Amino acid sequence: MKEAGAPVHVVRQMLRDLPTEQRLFLTGQLSALILAFLFRYCLPPSHCRPNVRHGVATLLGIGLSVYCFGWLTVFLVGEVILCYLMLLMIDPRRIQIYTLLITMVYLTFFHIRRYANPLVDELDFTVALMTLTQKMSRFAFEYHDGTVRNVQSLTPTQRRLAIRSPPGILPYLSYTVGFLGLLAGPLCSFNDYKIFINGEEKKGNPNVAVFKKLWLCCFLLAAHIMLLDQFSISNDPNNSFLYIFWELYLTAASKRPKYYFAWTLADTINNAAGFGYNGISDDGEERWDLLSNLNILRIETATSFKMFIDNWNIQTAVWLKEVCYDRSPFNPLLSTFLLSAAWHGVHPGYYFTFLTAVPVTLAARRIRQTLRPWFQHTSWSRVTYSLITWICTQMAMSYTVAPFILLGLGPSLQLYRSLGFCLHILPLLLLLILPHRQRLETKGGSSKELPCDSNYNHLKKET
DSSP-derived secondary structure for 293-354:
-B-HHHHHT--SHHHHHHTBSHHHHHHHIIIIITT-SS-HHHHHHHHHHHHH-S-HHHHHHH
Q: Is the pLDDT of residue 121 over 80?
A: no
Answer for the pair 450, 317: CB distance below 8 angstroms, yes or no: yes
Spatial CB neighbours of 327, under 8 Å, sequence gap ≥ 6:
141
Length of the chain: 463
d(CA 172, CA 80) in angstroms, rounded, equals 8
Q: Is the pLDDT of residue 438 over 90?
A: no
100-109, 126-135, 235-244 — which is least confidently predicted?
A: 235-244
Active site residues: 313, 344
pLDDT at position 234? 82
Containing H/E element for 248? helix 241-272
Tell whether the torsion through CA atoms of 332, 334, 337 and 338 is positive or negative. negative
Answer for the pair 190, 146: CB distance below 8 angstroms, yes or no: no
Answer for the pair 290, 211: CB distance below 8 angstroms, yes or no: no
Q: What is the mean pLDDT of residues 144-156?
A: 91
15-29, 61-75, 141-155, 195-209 — which is least confidently predicted?
A: 15-29
Instruction: Identify the three-state secondary structure at position 164.
Output: coil
CA dihedral 359, 363, 365, 366 (to 10 degrees): 140
Per residue in 191-217, pLDDT tens?
999 999 999 877 788 999 999 999 999
d(CA 461, CA 154) in angstroms, rounded, equals 18
Position 450: which residue type? L
- Percent pLDDT > 70 in the chain is 90
φ, ψ of residue 73 to 5 degrees: the values are: -55, -30
31-40, 178-187, 222-231, 388-397 — which is least confidently predicted?
A: 222-231
Per residue in 307-339, pLDDT tens?
999 999 999 999 999 999 999 888 899 999 999
Q: Is the pLDDT of residue 284 over 90?
A: no
Query: What is the 8-class DSSP label of residue 434?
Result: S
For the packed helices 241-272 and 207-227, what is the interaxial angle rounded to 10 degrees?
150
pTM for the whole structure: 0.90
Per residue in 233-259, pLDDT tens?
887 777 888 999 999 999 999 999 999
Q: Is the pLDDT of residue 219 over 90?
A: yes
CB atoms within 10 A of CB 26: 18
Q: Is the pLDDT of residue 462 over 60?
A: no
pLDDT at position 445? 41
pLDDT band at 444 (very low <50, low <70, confident <90, very high): very low
Q: What is the mean pLDDT of the chain?
A: 88
CB atoms within 10 A of CB 90: 16
Per residue in 75-89, pLDDT tens?
999 999 999 999 999
pLDDT at position 233? 86
Spatial CB neighbours of 26, under 8 Å, sequence gap ≥ 6:
15, 18
pLDDT at position 370? 86
Answer for the pair 299, 260: CB distance below 8 angstroms, yes or no: no
pLDDT at position 461? 39
pLDDT band at 447 (very low <50, low <70, confident <90, very high): very low
Q: Is the pLDDT of residue 162 over 60?
A: yes
Q: What is the mean pLDDT of residues 16-25?
A: 79
Closest of 188, 194, 192 to residue 170, by C-alpha: 194
Answer for the pair 344, 324: CB distance below 8 angstroms, yes or no: no
Q: Is the pLDDT of residue 1 over 80?
A: no
Q: Is the pLDDT of residue 131 over 90?
A: yes
Helices (H), 43-94: 50-69, 73-89
- Percent pLDDT > 90 in the chain is 69
pLDDT at position 28? 95
For the packed helices 379-406 and 409-418, what is the interaxial angle rounded to 10 degrees?
140
d(CA 131, CA 2) in angstroms, rounded, equals 43
Q: What is the mean pLDDT of residues 44-56?
A: 94
